[in-house]
Structures are given as structure tokens and as C-alpha cells.
Structure 1
Amino acid sequence: MLFVTPVLANDYLTNIVKIIEPKTSQTAIIVSPLDNNAKDLKADVGFRKDAERLFVPASTMKLLTAVAATKALGRDFSFTTQIDSFVGIKNNRIEGDLFLRFDGDPTLTTNDLRQLFKLLQKQGLKHIEGNLYLVGDQQETLQAPGWVWDDLGICYAAPVSRYILNQNCVKAKLAPTLADNQSKLTFSQFEPISITNTAVFDKVDDIPFCELSLQRHSNNQFALSGCYAGQKPLKLSIAISDPALYAQNSLTNMLENLGISINGNVLLTSKRPANTLLLAQHKSKPLSDLTDTMLLKSDNLIADSLLKRLGQHIYGVPGSFINGSTAMKQILTDQGIDLSSANIVDGSGLSRYNLLSAQQLSQVLLLIKQDKQLNFLIDQLPIAGKTGTLAYRSGYTSLPLKGIVLAKTGSMMGVANLAGFIKQDGQLTQAFVILENGHSPSVKKTEVAPFNVLFLQSMLQKSQP
């Protein structure tokens, strides 16, 4: 195993960057040798290039979210969904209203809620005399500023709400018919949404321009049109547009399927009545498990749900993208991260309005390494050629990077970022950040390897003097 020298040869890496740096995009790099005894965030920098210049961070933003959430909420924090009422179950009924308090749990499923109502059935519940109120936030913003509009129908940009069920995402399948070029769209009959489908399959590649289009209408209604090239079925993940309505219709169907009658209706409310009796509750997995999924799979819904919770936790008001971003900046600043030049508008990195520097991300990495409370996040990073978003990424499935690079990816149109650690013989030896913005898809097709791959390969292949 070849180790990078404790203090990298700046001239060597400077010359390497001049050779491999793309001509059409902007890049920034910072590499810091790690000192296990370091107590601050000003570790020696082995190499830096434009480290203070601001870039769109994409999903490397989730490193900030993981740190801020752990510091403010604690590893054992969990989202709690509750059912309560003013009176208990008596004579197989609730005399009055029932309240289902949504908590913005990004992992909550209809099955979780079904289990809660089955628990009430075991306690004898057969009838609700009043209404079932779904308690949430009726005025919240579901997407952050700077989210690209054509991402919004796709599940990785599902709406972030107090009302979340099944990741606010509907799975469907588009399959060709045998007789012609028409298609058949199928999804669960229990999903309370409507999708009209006029899409066709281009089975013989004779349609000059072939592209699917999904239009989003009000009341969780969608229209799928256009064409898909090929003959194999296509799996679709469609983000719902109205999560409160989706929850309302889902609960209406659920009560009917469970055989629980209701004299009133399933209604939405922002009011959170006091002095109620807790009947049943569901807790999400702890924060440490949520961050594991968030970092490994780059889960946007978890990230932005945590961001909103930070706003609620710090300011004592309903969480939002605005107060959550302000809270996160405050929490990290208190930890010694200099975010004075940064622009933070979400926790996932989906927004094009986010701006971070390589130096700021490097400070976050050094904090993760130096703070024992945060060390567990290192083990949750994708490992090159093995886990998460680096499992199959080009350039990371073979040596010298496979198994050596532990890093959070940050990818979107025109953005190719990476921030993490080098681990050699069981020891973290380097922290690094490589940012690239303005990465054209046409250039990407012709490049020998991604810029971050070429740089890390060059760094790791350098022998000790």
C-alpha cells in the first residue's frame, strides 16, 4: 500500500491539476492530512485550489445536515406519530373526535398507520362518533427555493411536509401492449391518485424525437404523455403534488378497509388540542439510522425533513425551509464552521441556490473527524466500489480508489462533487473536497474519467519520497 506523504507535495499536485483539469468547468480542491491529535478546524492543508470560491454543493450539503441534526437533536431523536382523543375507547367507540398527529416522519408508511389503527381495534375500537382530524401544517412550503421545476414530479424531489406517507411517492409501471405501440400504466389500486396515460412505446426506433412527459395537476392528478424508446417495461416513481390530500384520502380508505365506521369525516387541521389522551403512537428509527440512509443513499426527503425539524427545534415554531436553514447555519457556526459567505436554503442540496466553498465543507469533515459525538457519521459514508452511491460509480470500483475512498457524493446536472476521507490500513489519513460545477453532459461523454477520479488516483499513486 502506498501512502500519501504527511504533507502533500504542492508542486506535484499543482502540475497534475494543470494536466487533468477540465477546460469548460470550474473546480475547487482542498486536501488536509489528518492529525489524530488535532483539536480545532484549522488543520494543516496539504493542497488547495480556489478553496474559498463558492459552488453549488448538491448532495454534499447533506454532510452539514447530518452534523447539525446530530448536534441539535441527538443520535436518539426520532419522529413520533400519535393518535389521541379527549376520551378513551368505551363500548367499542370513541365518543367525540380522534386526532392523528403527523410529525413529518420521512419514513412513515401506510402500513405503520394501519398497525396503529389495528392496535386501537385490539382495544375494542369499531366506531368513531366524531371526526378523524389529521393534524399537520396547512400553510407550509413543500419545496425549497431553487428546486428545478422539472424535478418536482420525480420522487427524489418529493414534497416535504408534516404529512408524509410512503415517502410521498407512488410506484408505477409503464408496459408496452403486444398488438401496437400503445402502453399500459399500472399502479396500486389503493393509491388515491389519478393518472391519465397517452404515452406510446417506440419499439423500432422510428420516432424522430421520443421523450416521456409527466404533467402535474391539482388534487394529485397527473397526465403521462409522449413516448418511450424500447420494448421493455419502465418503472416509474411519481412524487405526489398534494401530501395533505394524499394522507386524507389514504386514511379515508384505510378506515373503510379496516371496518372502522365514522360518523363524521376525515379532516385536515393545524390545531393541536391540549389535554388529550394518548391512545397509540409510532416512532421512527433513531436519528443515527436516518442519517445512515440519508448519507448512504443520498435520501433527499430525510435531509429536508430533518432541516425543517431543526427550525422547529431551535425557534419553537412550525419548521420551514427558511427557519430550518437559518437554524442549521447557526448550529454549525456555533461549532466553529465559518459559513459567513455561504448560502443555505435546504438540507438536501437539491436547490440551485445553495452555495458552499471547498473550505467550508472541509471544516465540516474535520469537525466530524475530531468530535467523538460525530465520529459515527464517518462509517455511514459511501465506500468506493462497495456501498451506497459509490458502489458502482465509474472509477471507484477498482484500485487505487476501491475501499479507500469514503465520501459523500454531490451530483446533479452540471455538478460533480465529492467530499470525504481517505482510509488506508484502517486509518483515516486525508480529508478532501473536490468540487466541479459547469460540467457539461456533452463533455462528460468524451472525458477519459471524471476529474475527481483522476485527481484522487494521482494523489494516491504518489509514492513516499
Structure 2
Amino acid sequence: MMKKAFSILIILLFAITAQSEAQKLTERKVRKMFMESEIMQEHFVGFILQEETGKIVYAQHQDIHFVPASNTKLLTLYTALNILGDSIPAFKYRIEGDSLIIWGTGDPSFLHPKLDNRRTYDFLANTPHQIFMANEPDLEFEPSYWRSDLSYFPMYGNLATIKSDTTLGLFVFPEPISRYVVQDSTIISTRFNINRSKSGKELVYPKMTIPGDFQSTVPFPMDLQVTRILLEDTLKKEVNLIMKKKPSETNIYFSIPSDSLYRHMMLPSDNFIAEQILLMCSGMISDTLNVKTTIEFGLENHYKEFKNPPVWEDGSGLSRFNLFTPSTVLEVLNLIEKKIGDKGRLKSLLPEGGVSGTLRTAYQTDNGKPFVWAKTGSLKYMHLQSGWLETRKGRGYRYVFMNNNFVRPNSEVRNEMVRIMTEIHERY
């Protein structure tokens, strides 16, 4: 009788162990998912899946360099977390006699339709001092045709809203930008649109009938003179420019909570804000605003000891000269998680699958709950995701999923990534 009972116990233990192993996510099982995916066999794929404990479940091409696209913003985020405090520096200033002298810090939140809390506006509108904006010599930003211009003192996100108007022809906001909106009869086009001139500051449109439903958001050329004009119009008071080098000691006026700016960079993947964040960081560690200064600081102080130090060129990831390995991105994910130290705050800074940002339409939620929080990246023939995954069984993972050099539509590769990550969520 005892022998029979013992045999039954052994069988039960074996069955329980077998069931537990069947539910466990292993290297073999993940490899099989990729081997059985026709799409994932067609191009260059880097992937790492890491348990919360730090154990690597599966990795492929983890030390091969990929173009990271907007996964670059993960480095921008971690660098900013280490340089900027809990609030964004709006500007540096000194009061000299009856003058308020301002040095821009690159804060992109001022009068931004989704970010501004009017704190900076109220300070400037209510100051009894004459406002001077300092222009340091030989410091200029190159104009851009693929995003808003970088600037010392952004306003309205350096974007103009332009739409058809029965009286004006075109309504422009902010209004002072209307002086730069001009018709160009040399443009040959079958479609009405407004674009930046190839030279100069004009926003040009073709000589044709303006559609009644036309509306567009257009980056406008930005420098300190444009800033002065816009600020004067907004504050309804005189603003002047002054050539004055920033002294070693200045006051700093702060605007919005830093997390709200980081969230806006990460969720819609805002390239302009990513670059401005690096400018702000440089102003806190040096005397000038320069993206390269922050990148060099980050490479020396945060990423130098990485197994594969990143080749890092910009803050947004639009440059194809950026090159990261999957293991590099995973190290950054771990650093971000450790630095933030709060899962709720961490998740709030990232797109949520099926809920928000660039993952809102990619994933379905599970009974209304998201299970992926990740930064996406997308350029032509490239698509990536890196972040955190939770399974139905309550297990947590970090993952890096990098796809380069495919020739299918991005949507097909994205859908296959989503299918694989969803299968891991549902089964394990």
C-alpha cells in the first residue's frame, strides 16, 4: 500500500514538474518563434529578452550594430534624467538696474499647446523690468527642413497653424509669422501646400486657389529676432535684443515638471523636443547650447563602460549614423529603470500598447489592461521596439526588438513583432 502511494506521489510530482516546464519560457521556445516566422527570416533581426532578475532568456545578434531610429530617445531620456532636475529650466537671467536680461536655455514648453503651464508667461508678463534677450556672438543653429528649427527660446513649439480664411485668404497663428508667408509663382504644383523656402525665411505656397478646407501646421524659421518679435507680440510689451555674454553666475527660472516634457518626447516620439532636451542639458553642464556637447558628456560619463559603446549622433534618432547594438539598448533600459526606481512612473513615460502614443493602435489590451510599455523607432526599412513586457502569469521582462533592412511595408514587420510579443504575454 505504501509502495503504491509512493508511486502515485512520484507520478503527481512528475506531472506537476512537466506542467511547470511546459509553462516556462525558455531559450528554445523563443528561438522557435523566430524560426517559424517567415517575416523574421527575411531581414536583419536583433532581439533580447531579459527576466526581471537580469537573466537573459534569449538573444540573437545582440552584439551587432543596428540603426536604432527613435530608440535613440532612450539615451536622450537617460542622459536628461542625470542632468536636469525635476523641473525644466525656462531661462537663465540677471536683473541689472531696471533691466531683466534673459539667456535662453532651449526650453520648448513655452506657449506649447500641449505643455505650457503659463508659469514662464506670467513671470515675464508681470515683471516691472525692461526685458532684454541676450544674443551671444557666433552662436547660431542650422536651419532644418525635416523638423522645427532648434532655438534658444522656442515659442509655440516653433510651429505655425495656417488655414484658409474667407476674409484673409490665409489665417496664420501666431500672427507675426504671417509676414513670412508668401506666394511664390515659380512653384509648379498640382496640390496647394505651404513649405519652407529653400533659402531665406519665407514659408511659400503656389499661385493657385486656396482650398476652403485647407489647414496645416508648419515649422517656421526661428532665430532670436523672430523670438523677439513673437515675445513682444505675446507679452504686449517691448522686448529688445542685446549682445551680452552669459556671466558665470546667473539665476535660473524653472517652468514645467521634467516628466511632462519627457512624456511628450517619448509618447508621440517628438523629434524637435528630443533635440531641445539635449540643448538644455548642454546648458547645464557648459556655457553654450550644443547637442554634441551633451552627447559627448553622455558617452564619457554614462555609456563609456558599455560592452558595445553606442555610436550616437543626435537626440531624436533621425540620423542614420546612429548605431546601437541590442545589448547596448538593454543596458540603457536597465539604467533607466534603476534611475527612476518606480514602475508606475516608468510606465507613465512610455507608450502603452493599445492605450497611448506610438503603440496605441499597434497592440490590443488584455481585458482593458496594457501589457507592453516600450519606445518605438521607425525609419524607412527599419522598425524597432524596446521596453517592458508583462505576461498573464505575472512575469515581467525587458526586451529589445530591432529590425533593419527589410523591404516589406513597415506595418507588416510591426504586426509580426506585435504577434510574437503578444504570444509571449498570453502563454507565459
Higher helix share: 2
Measured at CA, do residues 17 and 80 of structure 1 come closer, stay the same or move farther in structure 2, by a change above 3 Å?
Answer: same
Q: Which residue of 2 aligns with 1:385?
A: 354
Q: Counterpart of 2:15?
A: none
Q: Superposition pairs for residues 322-333 of structure 1, below 5 Å?
A: 322-333=292-303
Contact 1:3–1:460 at 8 Å: present in 2 too? no
- Measured after TM superposition, the shift of residue 353 of structure 1 is 1.4
Match status 1:460 vs 2:428: no
The answer to whether the 8 Å contact 1:72/1:331 transfers is: no
Retained in 1: the 8 A contact 2:63–2:308? Answer: no
* Offset at residue 461 of structure 1 (A): 3.9
Is 1:317 the equivalent of 2:284? no
Q: Which moved more, 1:453-462 or 1:367-376?
A: 367-376
Q: Tell me the TM-score normalised to structure 2 length.
A: 0.79
Q: For residues 140 and 275 of structure 1, do their structure 2 counterparts lie closer, same or farther at Cα, with a shift above 3 Å needed?
A: closer
* C-alpha separation in 2, matches of 1:240 and 1:100: 22
Structure 1 residue aligned with 2:150: 160
The answer for the alignment partner of 1:62 in structure 2 is 73
Letter aligned with residue 30 of structure 1 = I
Question: Is 1:216 matched up with 2:197?
Answer: yes
Please report the TM-score for the alignment, with normalisation by the length of structure 1: 0.73
Identical aligned residues as a percent: 19
- What value does the CA root-mean-square deviation take over the aligned residues? 3.8
User: Contact 1:212–1:226 at 8 Å: present in 2 too?
Assistant: no
Aligned pair 1:33/2:3, yes or no? no
Counterpart residue identity of residue 12, structure 1: K
The yes-or-no answer on 1:241 pairing with 2:208 is no
Distance 1:169 1:7 in 2: 50
For 1:105, give the aligned amino acid: D
Instruction: State the partner residue of 2:35.
Output: 18
Question: Which residue, out of 438, 443, 451, partners 2:409?
Answer: 443
Pick from 95, 119, 123 the counterpart of residue 126 of structure 2.
Answer: 119
8 Å contact 2:52–2:397 — kept in the other structure? yes
Within 5 A, what are the aligned runs for 1:8-157? Answer: 8-20=25-37, 21-22=39-40, 25-35=43-53, 43-74=54-85, 76-81=86-91, 84-88=94-98, 97-109=99-111, 114-120=121-127, 123=128, 132-140=131-139, 142=141, 152-153=144-145, 157=147
**Equivalent residues of 1:244, 1:268 under 8 A apart:** no
Give the Cα separation in 1 of the matches to 2:400 and 2:427.
Answer: 18
SS at structure 1 position matched to 2:282: helix
Aligned to 2:418, what secondary structure does the other structure show? Answer: helix
Conserved 8 A contact 2:163-2:216: yes
Deviation at 1:374, TM superposition (A): 6.7
Do 1:296 and 1:380's aligned partners in 2 also have CA atoms closer than 8 Å? Answer: yes
Q: What residue is the counterpart of 1:272 in the other structure?
A: 246
- Name structure 1 gaps, 5 residues minimum: 36-42, 89-96, 144-148, 178-182, 200-206
Q: Which moved more, 1:429-438 or 1:190-199?
A: 190-199
Q: 1:414 aligns with which of 381, 395, 404?
A: 381
Q: How far, CA to CA, are the matches of 1:77 and 1:286 in structure 2?
A: 4
Q: Secondary structure at the match of 2:287?
A: coil
Letter of the 2:122 partner, please give it. Answer: Q
Pick from 263, 277, 299: which aligns with 1:306?
277
Deviation per CA, 1:359-399, whole angstroms, max 9, x where unpaired?
A: 11111112233445475333321111112221223xx0355
